[in-house]
Amino acid sequence: MHASLVLATLFRMTKRPRVANEARERFAMLLRTSPMIAKMAIRKGPPPKK
């Protein structure tokens, strides 16, 4: 079970390009039910198209 999880993770990492450093932001630790989540979702907008 653990090996399959590791293999799936490694496979997925090879198929997706890295996020550019300029596009990264600081990690914001929030509660899952925090109202700030909605504000961040609105601010971010839809995910970029591939």
Region of 33 (left: φ > 0; alpha: ψ -120 to 50; beta: rest) is alpha
Tokens standing for residue 4: 């399959």
DSSP symbol at 16: S
CB 28 within 8 A of CB 34: no
Kindly list the domain boundaries of the chain, sorted by start residue: 2-44
Phi and psi for 27 in degrees, rounded to 5?
A: -70, 130
Higher local confidence (pLDDT), 27 or 50: 27
pLDDT at 19: 82
Mean pLDDT of 9-34: 80
Q: What is the mean pLDDT of residues 24-47?
A: 68
Residues 26-43, mean pLDDT to the nearest whole number: 69
Least confident of 7-11, 20-24, 30-34: 30-34
Q: Which pLDDT score is estimated for 14?
A: 87
Say yes or no to pLDDT of 9 above 70.
yes
